[in-house]
């Protein structure tokens, strides 16, 4: 599947009190086909349960990847959940080791914010093709959902990052509907959103609007 265009980062702290699986169900109904589960402070056992509940709604309709927690991904997969991969940061287990753990067919995304990080990812994929499937590039704007985000890139910095990468890039960081055109024109494969869907009054309608806007750019 691997449609990166509208990429939902389903963050447990951003759902306005609604269960994550409820937000994910409505996003999938709104056409989102790539979902990352991010539960920074959740115990592993509880996180696995959330993955299992969420996978009921994504199975056959969207790819589901797990933020940071390779152990949670492996446990959920062992339990039979339809989960497709992991997304890691620069301070997590190195990407080449994660690939060894999750196998060749799982999705592996990596966050990158600097030229050096992007070039290192390129080199890793040159050495072992297919190690990393895509890069999450940002932050494009400052965002309250990730306190330790690097200095915002802006649209120009995003376009520069995309031009350096040998992998598809997903823009992230304070992005919502108003950013669709600029992100699309940067050459990014997609845009990752958190609050634009998670905190929306109607996540399904928000998902439909974002997808329609992206497809509108693609058809221009």
The reply to whether omega before 215 is within 30° of 0 (cis) is: no
3-state secondary structure of 75: helix
Residues 200-212 have a mean pLDDT of 97
Place of tokens 């928000």: 206
In a domain, 62, yes or no: yes
In a domain, 1, yes or no: no
Q: What is the DSSP letter of 108?
A: E
Tell me the residue range of the domain where 129 lies: 6-219
Place of tokens 């750019």: 217
In a domain, 205, yes or no: yes
pLDDT at 118 over 60: yes
In a domain, 187, yes or no: yes
CA distance linking residue 167 with residue 188, whole number of Å: 10
Question: What CATH code is carried by the domain that includes residue 101?
Answer: 3.20.20.70
In a domain, 24, yes or no: yes
Whole-number pLDDT of residue 8:
98
Of 176, 200, 178, 215, the residue nearest 33 (C-alpha):
215
In a domain, 104, yes or no: yes
DSSP string over 126-151: HHSTTS--EEEEE-SS--TT-TT--S
In tens, the pLDDT along 41-55 reads 899 999 999 999 999
Domain count, the chain: 1
Whole-structure pTM over 0.75, yes or no?
yes
């Amino acid at each position: 599947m691997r449609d990166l265009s509208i990429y939902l980062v389903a963050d447990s702290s951003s759902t306005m009190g609604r269960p994550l699986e409820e937000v994910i169900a409505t996003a999938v109904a709104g056409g989102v086909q790539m979902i990352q589960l991010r539960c920074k402070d959740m115990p592993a056992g509880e996180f696995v349960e959330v993955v299992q509940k969420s996978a009921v709604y994504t199975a056959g309709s969207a790819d589901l990847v797990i933020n940071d927690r390779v152990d949670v991904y492996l446990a959920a997969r062992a339990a039979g959940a339809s989960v497709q991969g992991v997304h890691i940061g620069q301070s997590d287990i190195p990407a080449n080791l994660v690939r060894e753990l999750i196998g060749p067919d799982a999705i592996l995304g990596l966050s990158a914010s600097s030229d050096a990080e992007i070039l290192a990812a390129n080199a890793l994929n040159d050495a072992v093709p297919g190690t990393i499937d895509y890069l999450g590039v940002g932050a494009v704007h400052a965002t309250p959902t990730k306190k330790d985000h690097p200095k915002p890139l802006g649209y120009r910095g995003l376009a520069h990052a995309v031009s350096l990468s040998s992998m598809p890039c997903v823009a992230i960081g304070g992005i919502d509907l108003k950013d669709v055109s600029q992100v699309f024109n940067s050459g990014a494969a997609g845009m990752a959103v958190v609050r634009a869907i998670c905190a929306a009054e109607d996540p399904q309608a928000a998902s439909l609007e974002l997808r329609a806007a992206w497809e509108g750019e693609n058809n221009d």
